[in-house]
């Protein structure tokens, strides 16, 4: 009898030790185990009652976001369990354990925006930044997207495209063929943790999608004599960016009033709006220049014996823009309306005691300072796809000329000495020419095998020095043409090439 009592005591003690003195029921019951970040917080009687308790306690969240219901944290798991354990916690106990550790959630939408890879100045890939945007109402996102897209496309053109009422091109003109967002976007209904940034209005989200921040943008008060072009350039933004940030102004010639306050925000779009246009326009073609050397004339003599005449072509192009900026222009068709006439220049090569003589190999860094008309047009067409100025806070130091066609001729803008002829990641195949008085011209993105001059060579104005291409950091066939005072990227200063024409 004593042995049986002792054995029973040992069994009970063993059971108490292994269960931590947990209350044991004589029959199993169905309850719910609560886990937070994978760690068990204990058992509760009802999942529904815990959810209702949390919802009732979070009136502040309901008021802040104007919602009717608050849900458990996303890191909380509630699992149904059948057990003999009778150690049940109250809803209040569980609530107090989680309220300061993991945020509660509300119903909404999570939108994932896939970032796009880019490259730095050395050609190294910079991984695109993926991000998630949270909204309570899906319409807030769709309306913000549409508002942002419209920022980069003139209102009337966008509406005609959207309603499919664009007029057919009779002679010249433009038709928008497609508008789309390049980034991959996925929208999913989900419970959003309230510690995340949740956009509640179209205005706030539109501002973020356009500027990359919801902070207030810099302001500027207009003074007498201010122009949109000057204000934009002095604040390192393009006129297009300025107009997007100030939608009440129609174009760069809009009148400004002293005391008027404008926005100077630098755009940082969170996605890429692609616009594909079908364009037909009449473009002047540059005339070639032929230089004839005359040994009977002094080397400081240069005279035009036949004036050049520009031609005119009707060109059909496919133009691709990203966030309002032209990134690719492809010529589809060209109709010659008027042939160009070449210019013939007779240049003396006889050494008469001074001046420059490219023909004889002598050259000095002196001569007339460049002025209006000094430089000639460097391409066979005159279509400017992107001008000199700031883009997204970074100076675009040249003029992009596109639409001439792959391999089309690139001309020396003025006579001078070739000081660079090579390849760089950003410029691709390029040539730099030194002109008198410390001026330089640079020609970038030539096609492979299309550099026709070498370092040390002397060239004449209008001489073919290369062919147009898309090497380096170029998204389409074009010439990046720039003029500098001082050596490019070695202390020199870029100038607006258009001021010399």
Q: pTM of the full predicted structure?
A: 0.77
In a shared domain, residues 237 and 296: no
42 within a domain of the structure (yes/no):
yes
188 within a domain of the structure (yes/no):
yes
| Domain final residue pick, 102, 125, 156 | 102
Please check whether residue 238 is in contact with residue 232, taking contact to mean a CB–CB distance below 8 angstroms: yes
Give the whole-angstrom CA distance, residue 366 versus residue 435. Answer: 8
Instruction: Give the mean pLDDT of 140-150.
Output: 94
CA nearest 319: which of 491, 476, 142? 476
Separation of CA 75 from chain center? 36
Give the whole-angstrom CA distance, residue 432 versus residue 263. Answer: 38
CA nearest 154: which of 228, 227, 238, 250? 250
**Helix or strand (DSSP H, E) at 229:** helix 228-234
- Mapping DSSP to helix (H, G, I), strand (E, B) and coil, where does residue 488 land? coil
- Mapping DSSP to helix (H, G, I), strand (E, B) and coil, where does residue 6 land? helix
* CATH code, 459: 2.70.70.10
- Note down the domain range covering 487: 273-500
* CATH code, 195: 3.10.350.10
Instruction: Give the mean pLDDT of 98-114.
Output: 95
Instruction: Give the mean pLDDT of 410-430.
Output: 94
In a shared domain, residues 62 and 190: no
Give the max Cα distance, the chain.
141
Q: How many CB atoms lie within 10 A of CB 260?
A: 14
Q: What percent of the chain has pLDDT over 90?
A: 60
State the pLDDT at residue 13. Answer: 45
Instruction: Provide the pLDDT confidence category of residue 23 given band limits of 50, 70 and 90.
Output: low
Separation of CA 214 from chain center? 18
85 within a domain of the structure (yes/no):
yes
In a shared domain, residues 40 and 97: yes
Q: How many CB atoms lie within 10 A of CB 399?
A: 23
Provide the CB-side half-sphere exposure for 8 (13 A, CA): 5
| Domain final residue pick, 240, 263, 286 | 263
Give the whole-angstrom CA distance, residue 455 versus residue 495. Answer: 23
Looking at per-residue pLDDT, the higher value among 289 and 344 belongs to 344
* Residue range 347-392, pLDDT digits in tens: 888 888 654 444 434 455 655 566 566 888 899 887 888 889 888 7
Give the whole-angstrom CA distance, residue 276 versus residue 271. Answer: 16
Q: What percent of the chain has pLDDT over 70?
A: 90
- Mapping DSSP to helix (H, G, I), strand (E, B) and coil, where does residue 222 land? coil
State the pLDDT at residue 6. Answer: 52
Provide the CB-side half-sphere exposure for 50 (13 A, CA): 30
Instruction: Provide the number of structural domains found in the chain.
Output: 3
Lowest model confidence (mean pLDDT) among 148-152, 305-309, 343-347, 444-448: 343-347
The neighbouring-strand residues paired with 402 are 478
Looking at per-residue pLDDT, the higher value among 266 and 422 belongs to 422
The neighbouring-strand residues paired with 73 are none
In a shared domain, residues 250 and 358: no
pLDDT over threshold 60, residue 408: yes
17 within a domain of the structure (yes/no):
no
* Residue range 215-254, pLDDT digits in tens: 988 999 999 999 999 999 999 888 888 988 898 898 888 9
Looking at per-residue pLDDT, the higher value among 357 and 335 belongs to 335
Looking at per-residue pLDDT, the higher value among 457 and 325 belongs to 457
Q: What DSSP designation does 377 have?
A: P
Cα separations in angstroms, 102 against 10, 72, 385, 392, 437: 43, 9, 52, 39, 69
Instruction: Give the mean pLDDT of 26-32.
Output: 88
pLDDT over threshold 80, residue 118: no
Which residues contact residue 278 at a Cβ distance below 8 angstroms, ignoring those fewer than 6 apart?
A: 169, 174, 175, 176, 177, 316, 317, 318
127 within a domain of the structure (yes/no):
no
Rg (CA), the chain: 35
| Domain final residue pick, 263, 298, 330 | 263
Give the whole-angstrom CA distance, residue 382 versus residue 434. Answer: 23
In a shared domain, residues 425 and 316: yes
State the pLDDT at residue 5. Answer: 46
Please check whether residue 136 is in contact with residue 200, taking contact to mean a CB–CB distance below 8 angstroms: yes
CA nearest 477: which of 444, 449, 441? 444
CA nearest 191: which of 75, 66, 63? 75
Looking at per-residue pLDDT, the higher value among 2 and 195 belongs to 195
116 within a domain of the structure (yes/no):
no
In a shared domain, residues 406 and 278: yes
State the pLDDT at residue 121. Answer: 58
4 within a domain of the structure (yes/no):
no
Mean pLDDT, the chain, rounded, equals 87
- Mapping DSSP to helix (H, G, I), strand (E, B) and coil, where does residue 500 land? helix
Which residues contact residue 24 at a Cβ distance below 8 angstroms, ignoring those fewer than 6 apart?
A: 15, 84, 85, 86
* Residue range 254-311, pLDDT digits in tens: 999 999 999 998 889 999 999 999 999 998 887 877 888 888 988 778 788 999 898 8
Please check whether residue 93 is in contact with residue 81, taking contact to mean a CB–CB distance below 8 angstroms: no
In a shared domain, residues 313 and 235: no
In a shared domain, residues 419 and 318: yes
Q: How many CB atoms lie within 10 A of CB 67?
A: 16
CA nearest 466: which of 454, 482, 483, 484? 454
Separation of CA 418 from chain center? 34
Instruction: Give the mean pLDDT of 75-100.
Output: 93
DSSP assignment of 126-186 equals E----EEEEESSHHHHHHHHHHHHHHTS-HHHHHHHHTT-PPPPSSSEEEEEEEEE-S-EE
Give the whole-angstrom CA distance, residue 296 versus residue 290. Answer: 18
State the pLDDT at residue 361. Answer: 43
In a shared domain, residues 209 and 258: yes
In a shared domain, residues 214 and 281: no
pLDDT over threshold 90, residue 437: no
Please check whether residue 351 is in contact with residue 299, taking contact to mean a CB–CB distance below 8 angstroms: yes
495 within a domain of the structure (yes/no):
yes
Angle subtended at Cα 249 by Cα 248 and Cα 255, rounded to the nearest 5 degrees: 130
Q: How many CB atoms lie within 10 A of CB 47?
A: 15
In a shared domain, residues 160 and 303: no
In a shared domain, residues 281 and 220: no
Please check whether residue 348 is in contact with residue 291, taking contact to mean a CB–CB distance below 8 angstroms: no
State the pLDDT at residue 325. Answer: 85
């Amino acid at each position: 009898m004593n042995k049986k009592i002792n054995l029973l005591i040992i069994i009970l003690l063993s059971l108490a030790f292994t269960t931590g003195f947990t209350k044991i029921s004589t029959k199993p019951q169905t309850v719910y185990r609560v886990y937070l970040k994978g760690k068990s917080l204990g058992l509760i009687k009802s999942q529904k009652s815990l959810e209702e308790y949390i919802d009732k306690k979070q009136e502040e969240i309901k008021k802040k976001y104007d919602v009717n219901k608050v849900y458990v944290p996303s890191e909380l798991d509630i699992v149904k369990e059948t057990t003999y354990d009778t150690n049940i916690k109250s809803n209040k106990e569980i609530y107090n354990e989680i309220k300061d550790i993991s945020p509660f959630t509300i119903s909404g939408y999570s939108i994932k925006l896939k970032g796009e890879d880019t490259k730095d100045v050395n050609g190294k890939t910079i991984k695109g930044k993926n991000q998630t945007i949270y909204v309570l109402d899906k319409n807030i996102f769709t309306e913000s997207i549409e508002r942002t897209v419209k920022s980069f496309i003139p209102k009337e053109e966008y509406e005609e495209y959207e309603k499919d009422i664009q007029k057919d091109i009779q002679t010249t003109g433009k038709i928008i063929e497609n508008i789309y967002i390049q980034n991959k976007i996925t929208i999913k209904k989900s419970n959003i943790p309230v510690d995340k940034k949740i956009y509640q209005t179209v205005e706030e989200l539109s501002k973020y999608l356009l500027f990359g921040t919801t902070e207030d943008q810099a302001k500027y008060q207009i003074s007498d004599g201010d122009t949109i072009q000057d204000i934009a350039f002095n604040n390192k933004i393009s006129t297009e960016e300025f107009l997007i940030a100030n939608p009440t102004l129609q174009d760069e010639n809009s009148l400004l009033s002293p005391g008027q306050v404008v926005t100077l925000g630098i755009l940082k779009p969170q996605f890429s709006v692609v616009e594909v246009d079908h364009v037909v326009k009449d473009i002047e073609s540059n005339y070639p220049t032929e230089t004839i050397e005359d040994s009977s004339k002094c080397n400081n003599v240069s005279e035009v014996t036949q004036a050049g005449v520009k031609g005119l072509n009707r060109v059909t192009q496919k133009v691709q823009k990203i966030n309002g900026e032209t990134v690719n222009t492809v010529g589809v068709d060209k109709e010659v309306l008027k042939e160009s006439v070449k210019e013939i220049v007779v240049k003396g090569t006889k050494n008469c005691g001074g001046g420059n003589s490219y023909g004889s190999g002598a050259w000095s860094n002196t001569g007339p300072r460049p002025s209006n008309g000094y430089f000639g047009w460097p391409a066979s067409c005159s279509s400017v796809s992107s001008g000199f100025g700031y883009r997204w806070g970074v100076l675009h130091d040249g003029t992009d000329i596109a639409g001439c066609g792959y391999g089309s001729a690139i001309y020396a803008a003025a006579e001078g000495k070739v000081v660079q002829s090579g390849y760089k990641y950003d410029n691709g195949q390029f040539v730099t020419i030194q002109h008198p008085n410390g001026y330089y011209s640079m020609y970038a993105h030539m096609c492979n095998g299309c550099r026709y001059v070498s370092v040390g060579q002397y060239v004449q104005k209008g001489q073919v020095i290369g062919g147009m291409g898309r090497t380096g950091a170029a998204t389409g066939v074009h010439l990046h043409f720039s003029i500098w005072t001082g050596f490019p990227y070695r202390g020199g200063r870029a100038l607006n090439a258009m001021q010399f024409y």
